[in-house]
Amino acid sequence: MAKFGVQFGGYLSCLLTTLTVCLFWCKSSATSNDLESCLYVKYAYSEKGFNDRDVPTKGIPGDHLRICDRSHTCCTKQMEHKLSTHSRVEFDKLLRDSIGSLKNLFASKTSKFDKVFQDLLDQSQKDFHNMFLRTYGMLYDRNSYIFEDMFKVLRNYYNSGGIQLSEALGTFFDTLYRKMFEVLNNQYTFSESYLSCISKHMEELKPFGDVPRKLTLELKRSFIATRTFVQALAVGRDVVGEILKVGPTPECSRALMKMSYCPHCKGLPDLKPCTTYCLNVMKGCLAHHSELNTTWNSYIEALLMLAVRLESSFNIEAVVDPIEIRISEAVMNFQENSQAVSDRLFQKCGRPRLGKRDTRKELEFKTFKFSPRHDDNKATKSVLNQLLGKIKKKLRRTKNFWANLPNELCDNPKVSGDRTTRNSQGSCWNGLTKAKYEAALVGNGLMNQKDNPEVSLDVTRQNIAITKQNLVLQLITVKLNNAYRGLDVEWEFPMDDGSGSGSGWMPDDTEDDNSHDIYFSYSTTRAPAAPMWPADSTKTPPKKLSTAPKMTSSNFLMVSTVIFVYCAIL
């Protein structure tokens, strides 16, 4: 009797253990119990903004499914369609956020650099004006247009690139030379042909000493480098802006749906994709983007190299800032040699006629006391260099941006869940069920995608938009490298053509609506507004109440059998 009682108690405890194991088992693994209720799916589905009445209360046969596994499912045809659109919209948003921040970086650095440079030029012109006015007074005031024109030339070159800088600076020195010659020989009048004659001899007489040659060389190098740099930043901004418009292919949309929402249809809405699985999907979806890797890196490298030059030997501040000193040095050279130069010119071009002008006072060219430049802008002197330092740092971080994009997207908690649930190899979504993902990680780049098990892709076909932007990057990289070597840089397209052809200064914020459905041909329903990537929900979904857990899992049966056998032996 007692023995029976002990035996009975033993059986009872075994039964309880079995039940406990069952509860634990059914809760933690995907069994058809999940499909049996679909309650969990209802919750997740309505959280996306869809109507949970679309969701069947129990699993249904899945013959109507187009993307997900056609076994027992919680998805109707309409649900699969909606979720597919939704997954595409979400991917688009994540991609846009990522690429958009790259675009914003380039947009803000372009305008910042532009502003700092324009300010520098404005300040230099002001300093120039004040110093020349103080030093030459009326004489300068009357002829200030010559210098204003010079600044205009510099500005024009910077803004449009459509002028030959050395020629334009040559014209400036020629004008200055003629004017000074007239002023220095004020007792005479000179005809236009006489002045043309003296112009012909400027090269040989060098009235300004070595200043024009050196200043022109330095201004040219620095302006070319500066303009190329800011243009290249703007090109980067526009290239990224164009890439932003490239949407996923139908094959990619299909893979996205399978990865992100087929777990819903399986009754496992919180299951996140296995890491390798996610990477394969993203590498397939971003195969064309990854073709930008090499050219982008070369472009960034060229920008960084030129930035170093701009900080040092081609520093525009070092040339433009003291420009009034350089030019007054030229003026003084002419004054010092004025007698000798004039005598030579009278020999070569003939003795001019005496004029009747009574402007002797203009000749008071003697008291050239250069008051030292006010030094109040010392603190701001290296503003440009500070900015270049910051830009370099940010640029360096964008290296490998395109190659890293799949990793970046798969690292997003919205895609891969939080860190605690991540990388648990056996308990992730592998595209079919909750199990280890067996396929190998594919390589980077378009060609490697021929082995991609998740996204089928014609690897021989380029994406035209991306190929085009690759070319744009290559062209600007050549220019950057030329500017780095101090060579001339040709600008084919004037910037201010107003056509907004993608290389202008204006911010370009036109964004296409990419949310239309491309995978499903029938498109009567749309994804809800303001899509969010699923999960990381703070609210706990309703616990699946295992009131009558059905033991259908063969695994479970096996465990139960083992326990019973074990108890019987006891």
Ligand X SMILES: *[C@@H]1O[C@H](CO)[C@@H](O)[C@H](O)[C@H]1NC(C)=O
Binding site for ligand X (CB under 6 A): 293-294, 297, 400, 403, 444-445
Residue with tokens 């996610």: 278
Distance CA(222)–CA(280), nearest Å, equals 46
Residue 516, C-beta contacts closer than 8 angstroms, at least 6 positions apart:
523
> What is the rounded distance in angstroms from the CA atom of residue 416 to the CA atom of residue 546?
28
Q: How many CB atoms lie within 10 A of CB 450?
A: 14
Nearer CB in complex with ligand X: 355/445: 445
Q: Residue 236 or 352: which CB sits closer to ligand X?
A: 236
Six-digit token pair at 201? 């001899």
Alpha helices in 453-493 (DSSP H): 464-484
CB of 296 to ligand X, least distance (A): 8
Closest distance of CB 443 from ligand X, Å: 8
Smallest distance, ligand X to C-beta of residue 289, A: 11
Q: Residue 400 CB, nearest distance to ligand X (Å)?
A: 6
Q: Least distance to ligand X from the beta carbon of 42, Å?
A: 41
Q: Which is nearer to ligand X, 194 or 299 (by Cβ)?
A: 299
Which lies closer to ligand X via its Cβ, residue 154 or residue 243?
243
Strands 188-189 and 353-354: antiparallel
Q: Which is nearer to ligand X, 445 or 486 (CB)?
A: 445
Give me the least distance between CB of 449 and ligand X, in Å please: 13
DSSP calls for 332-387: HHHHHTHHHHHHHHHHHH-PPEE-----GGGG-------PPPP-TTSTTTTHHHHH
Rounded to 5°, the CA angle 432-438-442 comes to 105
Of 150 and 403, the one with the shorter C-beta distance to ligand X is: 403
Q: Could you give the CA distance from residue 186 to residue 359 in angstroms, rounded to a whole number?
A: 7
Distance of alpha carbon 45 from alpha carbon 32, whole angstroms: 19
* Closest to ligand X by CB, 293 or 315: 293
What backbone torsions phi and psi does residue 252 show, to the nearest 5 degrees?
-70, -45
Beta carbon nearer to ligand X, 124 or 293: 293
Q: Point out which residues pair with 202 in neighbouring strands.
A: none
Query: What does the alpha-carbon distance between residue 306 and residue 485 come to, in Å, rounded to a whole number?
Result: 9
Nearest CB to ligand X, comparing residues 110 and 293 = 293
Least distance to ligand X, CB of residue 401, Å = 10
- Amino acid symbol at 373: R
> Measured from the CB atom, is 40 or 299 closer to ligand X?
299
Supply 293's token pair. Answer: 């890797």
Q: Which helix (H) or strand (E) holds 133?
A: helix 77-136
Nearest alpha-carbon partner for 264 in 33, 491, 75, 26? 75
Complex with ligand X: residue 294 or 427, whichever CB lies closer: 294
CA atoms of 239 and 235, how far apart (whole Å) = 6
- Nearest approach in angstroms of CB 246 to ligand X is 18
Q: CB of residue 447 vs ligand X: minimum separation in angstroms? A: 11
CA neighbor of 293 nearest in space, from 416, 458, 406, 460: 406
Please answer whether residues 327 and 216 qualify as being in contact, where contact means their C-beta atoms are separated by less than 8 angstroms.
no
Measured CA to CA in angstroms, residue 353 lies from 176, 186, 364, 445 at distances of 21, 11, 22, 78
- Find the shortest distance in angstroms from Cβ 450 to ligand X: 16
